[in-house]
């Protein structure tokens, strides 16, 4: 099984991501939950690589938290790139949001919460989204590509970047990280010092 290859820190990332989803009452843990969990431990290799890549960690944490959102889901349903593109063609996303909420009520743009199950059967946040599962599978591929027998936090970060979609990568890029250099930085960080 793939999970057996995870280092202690990588397992912690997986558990923290699931806990974040449960705590926020999300139906499943997405890539943004993985990023929040990855950033929770400042001493793991992935965070050190992000710091070396020029990421402002406080800014990245704030962006990841915003992507995860609260109980109702992400605080921004569109990414920053989407809002910018709409603004360039004359659409103010905040004005649209205000008009929709005025007509249809507060939170009308948020998806409805998952149906509540009885307390003994409730499993909120008990699994991963297809995208986050793909990221974890890509982390295994990255470990194999690097000829590693383990999957660490650095492999999860590389899996996120290889997937190249979603709020997690958008947060990383908007925090000032050039994702094309992350692979080299991971390799350099893993080189034994002599």
Q: Give Cβ neighbours of residue 194 (< 8 Å, ≥ 6 apart).
A: none
* Domains within the chain, CATH numbers bracketed: 2-77+124-190 (1.10.1780.10)
pLDDT on residue 10: 92
CA dist., res. 119 & res. 117, Å (int): 6
- Find how far residue 178's CA is from the centre of its chain: 17
d(CA 149, CA 194): 22
Residue 35 · residue 168 · CB < 8 Å: yes
Whether 100 and 108 have beta carbons less than 8 Å apart is answered as yes
Q: For position 123, what pLDDT does the model report?
A: 43
Tell me how far CA of residue 40 lies from CA of 36, 58, 104, in angstroms: 6, 11, 37
Tens-binned pLDDT, residue by residue, of the chain (194 aa): 567 888 999 999 999 999 888 888 888 888 999 999 999 988 899 999 998 888 888 888 888 888 887 554 454 445 666 777 778 888 887 787 788 778 877 766 665 555 555 443 344 446 888 989 999 999 999 999 888 889 999 999 999 988 888 788 888 888 888 888 888 888 888 776 44
Identify the sign of the CA torsion 185, 44, 40, 119.
positive
What's the pLDDT score for residue 137? 93
pLDDT of 120 reads 39
Task: Centre a 10 Å sphere on the Cβ of residue 139 and count the other Cβ atoms it contains.
Answer: 28
What is the model's pLDDT at position 113?
Answer: 54
Q: Are 158 and 186 in contact (CB under 8 A)?
A: yes
Eight-class DSSP state of 70: B
Q: Which two tokens stand for residue 180?
A: 């094309």
């Amino acid at each position: 099984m793939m999970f057996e290859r995870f280092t202690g820190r990588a397992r912690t990332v997986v558990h923290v991501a699931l806990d974040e989803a449960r705590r926020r009452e999300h139906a499943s843990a997405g890539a943004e939950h993985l990023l929040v969990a990855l950033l929770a431990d400042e001493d793991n290799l992935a965070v050190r690589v992000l710091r070396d890549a020029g990421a402002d960690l406080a800014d990245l944490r704030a962006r990841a938290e915003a992507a995860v959102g609260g109980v109702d889901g992400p605080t921004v349903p569109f990414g920053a790139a989407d809002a910018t593109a709409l603004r360039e063609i004359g659409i103010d996303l905040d004005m649209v949001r205000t008009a929709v909420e005025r007509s249809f009520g507060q939170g009308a743009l948020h998806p409805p919460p998952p149906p509540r199950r009885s307390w003994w059967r409730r499993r909120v946040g008990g699994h991963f989204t297809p995208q986050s599962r793909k990221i974890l599978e890509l982390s295994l591929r990255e470990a194999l590509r690097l000829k590693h027998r383990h999957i660490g936090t650095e492999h999860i970060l590389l899996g996120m970047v290889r997937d190249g979609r979603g709020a997690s990568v958008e947060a990383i890029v908007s925090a000032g990280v050039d994702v094309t250099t992350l692979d080299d930085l991971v390799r350099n960080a893993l080189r034994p010092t002599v």
